[in-house]
């Protein structure tokens, strides 16, 4: 993609994200904050799925773990920062524990293990009322204060979410540009060759899953103060499937995929609200259609188009060159 255009596009998007919300009312700010928070979870899932090629059906459960961390800690007087640290640590540790046995065996066992874990997590959220308040959930999750400034106003909390998203984005960029990024390309394109070059595919995949799950938990820690109420039905398989669809529709394996996918997943239900209960039916049909046509999602379509134009230009150049050579 032409760097100048993409840089301009990104600057415009950034400008919009920072300036436009000043004009938004409560509802618009809520939507945008949701987008920011879901993108973080989707980026984590993109690392697992898009870069390491493994399906996780537990990302929703990790969001729940992070959300409960935040809810329990902050309603007991602890700062949100502590909850964020705990969420990241728990997400990573549980991801590692789940992934380690599952990735030692072949096939797509991680998908099933995460599916089962999703059920288990929901049961824990619902049953362990002494910790999670059971089916009633935890209400009144407070928003933090940063250097004395309260983030309770929706605009301020939105900027906080945006700030965390920016940090996560930079961290991911760093990861993808490092030797790890190269290893992920290798393990995605040709795992056998990667192995023969010393790339420990199992270790890298496990790391991707653990890090991806940690990001899911981080997203949950931001979600709790955003919504204010944390209850079990919000973190079922449905959320995991939604996050998965975000990554797929946006374009799995592309850096910007999660941003686009989360945007669609957050905006589409609003625009198609007139469809009411038909919305999910239509959405799942669209996802199936998209997968048939372009398994690499929307950005994949754009990418293919660009590559096709580039190769056409290259062969046209070659053709005209050879024609001018052959001309007497």
Residues that bind another protein (CB under 8 A): 53, 55, 101-102, 104-109, 111-113, 115-117, 119-120, 123, 127, 175, 177-180, 182-183, 185-186, 189-201, 203-204, 207, 237, 241, 244-245, 248, 277-278, 280-281, 283-285, 287-288, 291-292, 295
Handedness of CA 184, 186, 189, 191 (dihedral sign): negative
DSSP for 84-108, please give it. HHHHHHHHHHHHHHHHHHHHHSSTT
Shortest CB 318 distance to another protein, Å: 12
| Nearer Cβ to another protein (31/115) | 115
Contact 58, 121 (CB under 8 A): yes
Shortest CB 116 distance to another protein, Å: 4
Shortest CB 105 distance to another protein, Å: 4
Shortest CB 229 distance to another protein, Å: 23
| Nearer Cβ to another protein (128/145) | 128
Token pair listed for 253: 């394996």
| Nearer Cβ to another protein (28/191) | 191
| Nearer Cβ to another protein (135/145) | 135
Shortest CB 321 distance to another protein, Å: 16
- From residue 93, give the alpha-carbon distance in Å to each of 68, 82, 84, 217: 16, 16, 14, 11
Task: Please tell me the distance from the alpha carbon of residue 58 to that of residue 44, in angstroms, as a whole number.
Answer: 12
Q: Where are the alpha helices (DSSP H) in 47-153?
A: 59-74, 80-104, 109-127, 129-132
Distance of CA 262 to the CA centre of its chain: 8
| Nearer Cβ to another protein (108/312) | 108
Shortest CB 195 distance to another protein, Å: 4
Note every long-range contact of 18-24, with CB atoms under 8 Å and residues 24 or more positions apart, other chains counting: 18/162, 21/155, 21/158, 21/159, 22/155, 24/155
| Nearer Cβ to another protein (4/107) | 107
Q: What share of the chain is helix, strand, coil (3-state, %, to 5)?
A: 80, 0, 20
Task: Please tell me the distance from the alpha carbon of residue 171 to that of residue 176, in angstroms, as a whole number.
Answer: 9
| Nearer Cβ to another protein (150/190) | 190
Shortest CB 127 distance to another protein, Å: 5
């Amino acid at each position: 993609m032409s760097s100048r255009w993409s840089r301009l596009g990104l600057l415009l998007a950034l400008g919009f994200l920072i300036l436009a919300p000043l004009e938004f009312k409560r509802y618009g700010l809520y939507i945008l904050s949701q987008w920011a928070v879901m993108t973080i979870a989707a980026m984590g899932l993109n690392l697992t799925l898009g870069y390491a090629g493994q399906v996780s059906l537990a990302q929703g459960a990790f969001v729940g773990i992070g959300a409960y961390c935040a809810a329990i800690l902050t309603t007991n007087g602890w700062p949100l920062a502590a909850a964020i640290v705990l969420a990241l640590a728990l997400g990573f540790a549980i991801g590692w524990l789940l992934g380690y046995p599952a990735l030692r065996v072949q096939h797509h066992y991680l998908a099933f293990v995460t599916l089962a874990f999703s059920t288990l997590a929901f049961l824990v959220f619902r049953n362990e009322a002494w910790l999670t308040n059971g089916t009633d959930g935890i209400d009144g999750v407070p928003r933090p204060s940063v250097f004395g400034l309260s983030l309770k106003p929706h605009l301020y909390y939105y900027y906080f979410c945006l700030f965390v998203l920016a940090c996560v984005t930079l961290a991911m960029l760093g990861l993808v540009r490092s030797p790890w990024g190269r290893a992920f390309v290798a393990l995605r394109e040709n795992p056998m060759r990667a192995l023969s070059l010393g790339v420990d595919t199992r270790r890298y995949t496990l790391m991707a899953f653990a890090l991806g799950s940690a990001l899911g938990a981080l997203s949950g820690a931001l979600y709790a103060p955003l919504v204010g109420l944390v209850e079990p039905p919000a973190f079922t398989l449905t959320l995991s499937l939604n996050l998965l669809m975000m990554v797929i529709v946006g374009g799995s394996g592309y850096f910007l995929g999660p941003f686009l996918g989360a945007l669609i997943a957050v905006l589409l239900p609003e625009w198609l609200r007139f469809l009411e209960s038909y919305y999910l039916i239509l959405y799942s049909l669209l996802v199936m259609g998209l997968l048939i046509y372009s398994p690499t999602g929307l950005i994949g379509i754009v990418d293919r188009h660009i590559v096709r134009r580039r190769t056409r230009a290259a062969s046209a150049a070659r053709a005209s060159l050879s024609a001018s050579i052959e001309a007497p």
